[in-house]
Structure 1
Amino acid sequence: MIGCLPPEGYPHSGQGGLTYSAVYDKQGDAATAKRRSLVYQPKLEWVLSQADLLGMTRQSLLDARWVELGCGDGQFLKCLEEAGASRFTGFDADPALVGRAEAALTAGSAVHSRIPLSDVVRATQADIFAAFFVLEHIPDVHDFFTAFSDKPQGTVLAFSVPVFSLATALESAFDVHAPRNLDSVLHTQLFTEASIRRCMEIGGLEPVSQWIFGQDAADLRRMLMQALARVYPEQMLQEVDERLALMEEGLQNVVDRACFCDARHIVAVRRKRGRNAHRRNSPSQAPHGREARGAA
């Protein structure tokens, strides 16, 4: 099979398919508010709930300087604003999404930037950096975490990444699917427990908490239904789908507890100097739980 690289500037160039901004442009205010409530508000509340582990209070976290890397249309920033934070800035490479973020915010700001995120980290002074489902899109993760190795101790990084999981195996086994994890165009990285530990070492970061959950069961249901639609009559297909729907949450709980789910949310803090410091303490694990997963 002969492959080719996507065009320069993809996906922001608008070539080769829909851009993120084109998708969000089709959402009305109600859908946007729902996405913010289901996807981004739980992320903020989870980060704020780690205050004790960070030696801070909820209010001191809200009073801190925040930078969101890959802020999109500003939904996480809006959650910060609604929680009472005012010192925050978001950076994104899509000018249309930045414009939407700026229009939605009354405090803070969103900035259009096409420079590597590692350079944004180096050039920006912040107490807390956030990057939710962003790092899988950047070409040089090593340089990104190296940028944190010179940050002051106490600097916090809250991030989420896709990991090798049941969903990844399903994508390898089924030929009819949208490649959400094994995506070699929009995703440049797929993380593992070992590679996350290595990233922490490079940045001199110590993970203090992680939130483990995924949507692998939903992927299994979707892929089975797509495959079965080619061979099952409609009535039988509907019956199988109804039974899978009843199983979905329980199955996902099993996958989450086995730590074979498709995502990790991590809060880490700069506590060590040097790029090869070994992590001494195990991170606290938040209760395994379900959050609405969507475009981050």
Structure 2
Amino acid sequence: MKQRFSKRSAVAQERQRDFMQRNDVLNGQSRTATDRLLQAPLRERCPLCASPAPDGPDFLHRGAPYFACAECGHIASLNDSARLAPDPDQYEEVYPALDLERRKVRMRDIYLPKLDWVLDVCVSELGIAREELLGREWLEIGCGEGLFLEALKMRGATRFSGLGVDDCMLARSRELLGEDCVRTLREPLGRAVAGSGADIVAAWFVLEHVFDLHDLALDLAGLPSGTLFCFAVPVYGVSAVLESACPGLYPRTLDNRVHTQLFTDRSISHFMKLAGLRGIGEWIFGQDAADMARLLEGSGGESDVCRNVMAGFGRAVDDLQAVLDRHGLADSRHVVAVKE
């Protein structure tokens, strides 16, 4: 499998500044979400492998009990967030709308590089030309604001569509791409993907929101051989440890609200095995060092000497993150896989 490590963190650091400015509000929402999560019934099974959930937690995260599945390594809250009433505002509050300039920056620094990486992996590992890949049928599940679909359009793709569940995010996608390009998911996700006829399926930071990962993986196992599945997931890394240790810091990775599951390298492998997928490309990078900078900035002093140190730390973030990435400690994984 072709591996790649690290990327520039300018957009991540800009997002971290936004988190810092809204820290008290976001952290308050997380605390409220934790209280709500604790009211949910306990899980009966692991959401990924469906093995029985343990009787007690393996660790506490910001007051909520979590377990690391002994069978597959997946990490999930002991309380079953799927059995809570829907929170219609959760995504809009965590992911505020982007203005035009920020959309352009994210397109340039996140979505076009992501798409180009997928295309490059398929060219080098499968020998499929970029033009042929862009001519295939693409489906993005959890299409958010539609920026990855817009990236496909910018690179010349014409056959693409998106699926989503959150009305606010779907409205943003439709405003960008038109009414017919995205649709609301109204059936089990795996069934929708299997019936889509897509040649390439993308799921960028979506799987951690899926309550029935086991069923999804089994449905994906029925996809035609050669179907490409590209995904990114958050993993339990340095950022999650920082969040547990620092209750005054907004927990971006595991907030007990939008995020109540995290993958590990072991659970990613388990998911791919269940789905009959073979990995052909992996990109490891994260925001752990930027999270660390946010923590230090929030707890540091106002003196000139402190500000000078933090300015130097900001310049060192990319170098620090590169070390964490190469040691497998980053908070996320991007994967390109092919159905065997």
TM-score by length of 1: 0.82
81, 100, 113: which one aligns with 1:42: 113
CA distance in 2, matches of 1:80, 1:91: 15
Tell me, which stretches of 5 or more residues in structure 2 are unaligned? 1-33, 41-80
Alpha-carbon offset, residue 146 of structure 1 = 1.2
Alpha-carbon offset, residue 195 of structure 1 = 0.4
Aligned to 2:295: 223
**CA pair 267-16 structure 1, distance change in 2 beyond 3 A:** closer
Aligned to 2:281: 209
For residues 219-246 of structure 1, give each alpha carbon's deviation from its aligned partner in whole angstroms, at most 9, with x where no partner exists.
1111122122xxx343243122112113
Aligned to 2:311: 242
Q: Decide which moves more: 139-148 or 99-108.
A: 99-108
Q: SS at 2:263's partner residue?
A: coil
CA distance in 1, matches of 2:92, 2:276: 39
Tell me, which stretches of 5 or more residues in structure 1 are unaligned? 272-296
The reply on whether 1:9 has 2:86 as its aligned counterpart is yes
Aligned to 2:184: 112
Aligned to 1:278: none
Contact 1:88 1:108 in 2 (8 A): no
Q: SS at 1:35's partner residue?
A: helix
Aligned to 1:100: 172
Which letter maps to 1:189? Q
Aligned to 1:86: 158
Contact 2:279 2:335 in 1 (8 A): yes
CA distance in 2, matches of 1:218, 1:253: 12
Give every structure 1 segment of 4 or more consecutive aligned residues whose post-TM-superposition deviation is greater than 6 Å.
none
Contact 1:160 1:266 in 2 (8 A): yes
CA distance in 2, matches of 1:48, 1:107: 27
CA distance in 2, matches of 1:15, 1:69: 18
Of structures 1 and 2, the one with the larger relative CO (CA 8 A, separation 6+) is: 2
Aligned to 1:252: 321
For residues 234-267 of structure 1, give each alpha carbon's deviation from its aligned partner in whole angstroms, at most 9, with x where no partner exists.
3243122112113211111111111111110000
Aligned to 2:28: none
Aligned to 1:277: none
Q: SS at 1:158's partner residue?
A: strand
Q: SS at 2:294's partner residue?
A: helix
Which letter maps to 2:141? L
CA RMSD of the aligned region, Å?
A: 2.2
CA distance in 2, matches of 1:88, 1:134: 18
**CA pair 224-57 structure 1, distance change in 2 beyond 3 A:** same
Aligned to 1:188: 260
CA distance in 1, matches of 2:136, 2:91: 40
**CA pair 83-233 structure 1, distance change in 2 beyond 3 A:** closer
The aligned length equals 262
Q: Decide which moves more: 33-42 or 155-164.
A: 33-42
**CA pair 154-17 structure 1, distance change in 2 beyond 3 A:** closer
**CA pair 233-109 structure 1, distance change in 2 beyond 3 A:** closer
The reply on whether 1:153 has 2:228 as its aligned counterpart is no
Q: SS at 1:178's partner residue?
A: coil
7, 29, 54: which one aligns with 2:100: 29
Aligned to 1:55: 127
The reply on whether 1:265 has 2:334 as its aligned counterpart is yes
Contact 2:162 2:181 in 1 (8 A): yes
Identity percentage over the alignment? 37
